Structure 1
Amino acid sequence: MKNNSSNRVRLLIVFLLILVTALYTCETWARSMNTSNDFPTAVQQSVSGTVQDSEGIPIPGVHILVKGTKQGTFTDSNGHFSVTTSSNSILVFSYMGFTTQEVAINSRTSINVTLVESATELDAVTVNAGYYTVKERERTGSISKVSSKEIEIQPIISPLQTLEGRMPGVEIEQGSGVMGLAPKIRIRGTNSLRNDGNYPLYIIDGIPVSSEPLRSAGSLTNASGIDPLSTLNISNIESIEVLKDADATAIYGSRGANGVVLITTKKGNVKDGKTLLTINSYSGISEVANKVKLMNTPQYLAMRRKAFEVDGVTPTQTNAFDLLLWDQNRNTDWQEVLFGRTAFLTNINMAISGGNQHTSYLVGGSYKNQGSVFPGNFDYNKITANINLSHRSENSKFKLDFSSNYGVDDNTLFFGNTFVNSALITPPNAPNIFKEDGSLNWENWIYDNPLAALEQPQNIITENLFANLGVLFNVLPKVNLKLTMGYSKLDSEEQLRFYKEAYRPDLWNIIKLSMRNSFIKRQSWIVEPQIFYNNTIGKINLDGLVGATFQNNKNSYLALEGSGYADKSLLRNFKSADNIQILSDDNTQYRYAAVFGRLGINLNRKYFLNITGRRDGSSRFGPESRFSNFWAVGGAWIFIDQKIDNQKISPFSFGKLRASYGITGSDQIEDYGYLDAYEATSGSGGLYPTQLFNPNYSWEVNKKLEVAIQFSLFKDHINLDVSWFKNRSANQLVGFPLPAITGFTSVQANLPALVQNTGLELQWSSKNINRKDFSWQSSFNITLPENKLLKFDRIEQTSYANIYKVGEPLNISHRYKFNGINSETGFYSMIDVNGDGRLNNDDRIVIMDMGRKYFGGFSNTIRYKELSLQFLFEYVKQYNQSYIFKWSAPGRLGNKPLQFLNSWEEPGDSEDIQKVSLSSIASKAFNDAANSSKGIEDASFLRLKNVALSYQFPRKVIKKLGLEEVNLYLNAQNLITLTGYKGLDPQGGRGVVPPLKTITCGLQITL
Structure 2
Amino acid sequence: MIMKSKLTWLMLFLCLGISISIAQTSSVKGVVISGDDGMPIIGASVLVKGTSQGTITDFDGKFELSIPSDSKILVISYVGMETQEVPAQPNMRVVLKSSSEALDEVVVVAYGTAKKSVFTGSAASVDNSKIQTPSASFDKSLQGQVAGLQVMSSSGQPGSTSSFRIRGSGSLNASNEPLYVVDGVPISANTKYSKLADDNDNTSSILATLNPQDIETITVLKDAAAASLYGSRAANGVVLITTKNGKSGKATVSFNAQFGFSSVPKAYDMMSSSQFYDTKFRSYYEQKLAAGATPAEAAAAANTLTQGAITFNPYNMDQPYDANGNLVNGARIIVDTDWQDEIFKTAFTQDYNINVTGGNEKTSYFFSTGYHDQDGVTPSAMYKRYSGKGNVTTEITPWLKAGMNVTFSHAIQNMEVGGGAGASPLYNALLFPNGVPVYLTDSNGNPILDSNGNKQFNFKNPTSLDFNPIAIPKMDINQSKNYRFLASAFLDFQLYKGLNFKTVFSPDYIHYSELKYWNKDHGNGPAYGGRSDRYNTTDLMYTSTNTLNYNTRIADKHNLSAMLGFEYWQSEYERTEAGATSFPLNGMHELGSGASALAPQSKTTKEALISYLGRVEYTYNDRYNFSVSLRSDGSSVFGKDNKWGTFWSAGASWRMEQENFMKNLTWIDQLKLRLSYGTSGNNQGLDRYQSLGLWDTGADYIYGTASGTGHTQLANPYLRWEKQAMFNIGVDYRFLNRFYGSLEYFHKNSKDLLYNYPLAASNGFESIMMNMAKVANYGVEFTFGAYILRDTPVKWNVDFNLSAIRDEIKDIVGDDQIISSTKKIWSKGSSQYEFYMPTWAGVDPKNGDPLWIKVDANGNRTTTNVYSQATYEKQGRATPDLYGGLSTSLSYKGFDLSILFAYSWGGLVYDGLYSQVMHDGNQAGAQMHKDELNAWTPTNTNTNVPKYSNNNTNTSNGVSTRYLYDATNIKLKNITLTYNLPSRLGAFSNVVKGAKVFVSADNLFTWFKDDWKGYDDIDIFGVGGYNDLTTIPVPRTFTMGFNLNF
Bin the TM-score by the shorter chain: 0.7 to 0.9
5 Å matches for 1:856-935?
856-877=884-905, 878-882=907-911, 884-891=914-921, 892-906=924-938, 909-922=941-954, 924-927=955-958, 931-935=959-963
Q: CA deviation at 1:345?
A: 1.2
Cα displacement (A) at 1:695: 1.3
- 2:787 corresponds to 1:767: yes
Cα distance in 2 for partners of 1:228, 1:664 equals: 25
Asked if 2 retains the 8 angstrom alpha-carbon contact of 1:358 and 1:394, the reply is no
Give the one of 608, 621, 633 matched to 1:616: 633
Q: Name 1:750's counterpart in structure 2.
A: 771
Structure 2 counterpart of 1:240: 218
The unaligned stretches of length 5 or more in structure 2 are 1-16, 26-45, 51-67, 89-94, 290-300, 316-332, 441-447, 858-863, 1021-1026
For the Cα contact (< 8 Å) 2:281–2:306, is it kept in 1?
A: no
Distance 2:77 2:979 in 1: 30
1:500 alignment counterpart: 520
- CA pair 569-720 structure 1, distance change in 2 beyond 3 A: closer
Question: 1:374, CA displacement in angstroms?
Answer: 2.5
User: Is the counterpart of residue 190 in structure 1 residue 222 in structure 2?
Assistant: no
Q: 1:411 to 1:797 in 2, by over 3 A?
A: closer
Shift of 1:210: 1.5
**Residues 642-686 of structure 1: CA distance to partner in whole angstroms, max 9, x if unpaired?**
9x9883544322101111111111122211111121122335354
Pair 1:347–1:262, CA change in 2 (3 A):
same
Q: Distance in 2 between matches of 1:449 and 1:341?
A: 16
| Larger Cα-atom Rg | 2
User: What amino acid does structure 1 have at the position aligned with 2:338?
Assistant: W
How do 1:87-166 and structure 2 match up within 5 A?
87-92=70-75, 98-100=81-83, 122-123=102-103, 125-152=105-132, 154-166=133-145
User: What is aligned with 1:728?
Assistant: 749
State the Cα distance separating 1:837 from its structure 2 match: 10
Correspondence 1:955 to 2:972: no
Aligned equivalent of 2:434: 428
> For 1:601 and 1:42, how far apart are their aligned partners in 2?
50
Structure 2 Cα separation of the partners of residues 292 and 96 of structure 1: 50
Conservation of the 8 A alpha-carbon contact between 1:337 and 1:375:
no
* Structure 2 counterpart of 1:75: none
Whether 1:600 aligns to 2:613 is no
Report SS of the residue matched to 2:854. Answer: coil
Secondary structure in 1 aligned to 2:956?
A: helix
Q: TM-score, normalised by structure 1?
A: 0.85
| Structure-2 residue corresponding to 1:551 | 569
What does residue range 287-326 of structure 1 map to in structure 2 within 5 Å? Answer: 287-312=263-288, 314-315=301-302, 317=304, 320-321=307-308, 325-326=312-313
> Counterpart of 2:226 in structure 1: which amino acid?
A
Instruction: Give the partner amino acid of 1:90.
Output: I
Counterpart in the other structure of 2:322: none
State which of 506, 522, 525 in structure 2 corresponds to 1:486: 506
CA distance in 2: counterparts of 1:37 and 1:816, whole angstroms: 94
Instruction: Tell me what 1:587 maps to.
Output: 604
- Counterparts of 1:97 and 1:202 in 2: how far apart (Å)? 26
The DSSP-based 3-state class of the residue aligned with 2:227 is helix
1:749 Cα shift? 1.9
Deviations 1:304-331 (A, max 9, x none): 2222234337426455426784122035
The answer to whether residue 670 in structure 2 is matched with residue 654 in structure 1 is yes
Cα displacement (A) at 1:225 = 3.0
Relative to structure 1, the CA distance from residue 310 to residue 137 in structure 2 (aligned partners, 3 Å threshold; closer, same or farther) is: farther
Which of 549, 560, 568 is the matching residue for 2:586? 568
1:264 aligns with 2:242: yes
Distance 1:584 1:914, change over 3 A: farther
Whether the 8 Å contact between 2:854 and 2:869 is mirrored in structure 1 is no
For 2:713 and 2:97, locate their aligned partners in 1 and report how far apart those are by CA, in whole Å.
56
* Equivalent residue in structure 1 for 2:402, among 384, 390, 400: 400
Provide the rounded CA distance (Å) in 2 between the counterparts of 1:104 and 1:768: 34
> Structure 1 counterpart of 2:287, which letter?
D
Partner in structure 2 of residue 286 of structure 1: 262
Q: CA-atom RMSD, angstroms?
A: 3.1
Equivalent positions of 1:784-799 (< 5 A) are 784-796=804-816
Conservation of the 8 A alpha-carbon contact between 1:157 and 1:179: yes
Return closer, same or farther for 1:494/1:685 CA change in 2, 3 Å cut-off: closer
1:705 maps to 727
Cα distance in 1, alignment partners of residues 97 and 204 from structure 2: 38
**Separation in 2 of the partners of 1:762 and 1:872?**
17
Superposed CA deviations along residues 111-141 of structure 1, whole A, max 9, x for unmatched, are xxxx999599743511111212111222211
| Shift in Å, 1:554 | 1.3
Could you tell me whether the CA contact under 8 Å between 2:104 and 2:115 is conserved in 1?
yes
Q: Report the counterpart of residue 11 of structure 2 in structure 1.
A: none
Q: Which stretch of the first structure deviates more once superposed, 474-483 or 452-461?
A: 452-461
Task: Return closer, same or farther for 1:159/1:773 CA change in 2, 3 Å cut-off.
Answer: same
Give 3-state SS (helix, strand or coil) of 2:377's partner. Answer: coil
- On the 8 A contact 2:720/2:771 being kept in 1, the answer is yes
Distance 2:802 2:79 in 1: 33
Pairwise CA distance, 1:968: 0.8
* Structure 2 residue matching 1:925: 3-state secondary structure: coil
Structure 1 residue aligned with 2:840: 818
Does residue 1:719 correspond to 2:719, yes or no?
A: no
CA distance in 1, matches of 2:661, 2:809: 47
Deviation at 1:218, TM superposition (A): 4.2
2:744 and 2:846 map into 1 onto residues whose CA distance is: 55
In structure 2, relative to structure 1, the CA distance for the partners of 1:352 and 1:295 (3 Å cut) is same
- TM-fit CA distance, 1:845: 2.1
Q: What corresponds to 1:77 in structure 2? A: none
Q: Kindly indicate whether the alpha-carbon contact (under 8 Å) linking 2:202 and 2:416 is maintained by their aligned counterparts in 1.
A: no
Q: 1:295 to 1:600 in 2, by over 3 A?
A: same
SS at match of 2:449: coil
2:386 is matched with which residue: 383, 387, 407?
Answer: 383
Partner residue in 2 for 1:522: 539
Contact 1:452 1:503 in 2 (8 A): no
In 1, the alpha carbon distance for the partners of 2:226 and 2:416 equals 42
Identity of aligned residues (%): 24
Secondary structure of residue in 2 paired with 1:258 = coil
The one-letter code matched in structure 2 to 1:693 is A
The SS at the match of 1:189 is: coil
Query: Which residue does the alignment assign to 2:655?
Result: 638
In 2: Cα distance, 1:737 partner to 1:212 partner: 25
Deviations 1:862-894 (A, max 9, x none): 100111001100111232114642324234533
Distance in 1, matches of 2:237 and 2:202, equals: 20
The superposition leaves residues 915-948 of structure 1 with CA deviations (integer Å, 9 ceiling, x where unpaired) of 11113334x1232xxx223331113211111111
Cα offset, 1:89, TM superposition: 3.2
Deviation at 1:101, TM superposition (A): 5.5
Aligned residue identity for 1:722? L
Q: Given the two structures, how large is their TM-score scaled by the length of structure 2? A: 0.82
Structure 1: give runs of 5+ residues left out of the alignment: 1-34, 44-62, 68-84, 106-114
| Larger displacement relative to structure 2 (789-798 or 609-618) | 789-798
1:425 Cα offset (Å): 2.3
Paired residues of 2:157 and 2:202 also in contact (CA < 8 A): no
Aligned with residue 470 of structure 2, among 437, 445, 451: 451
Q: What secondary structure, in the 3-state scheme, does the structure 2 residue paired with 1:250 have?
A: helix
**CA pair 530-863 structure 1, distance change in 2 beyond 3 A:** same
Letter in 2 for 1:847: Q
Question: Are the aligned partners of 2:816 and 2:828 in contact in 1 as well (CA < 8 Å)?
Answer: no
Aligned length: 911
SS at match of 2:281: helix
Structure-2 separation of matches of 1:823 and 1:580 = 60
Q: Is the 8 A contact 1:617 1:627 kept in 2?
A: yes
Q: Structure 1 residues 238, 182: CA separation in 2 closer, same or farther (over 3 Å shift)?
A: same
Aligned in 2, Cα 1:767/1:347: closer, same or farther, shift over 3 Å?
same
2:861 aligned partner: none
CA distance in structure 1 between the aligned counterparts of 2:694 and 2:785, rounded to whole angstroms? 55
TM-fit CA distance, 1:825: 3.7
Deviations, residues 144-202 of structure 1 (Å, cap 9, x unaligned): 111011123x21211111211101111111132110112111111111111x4212111
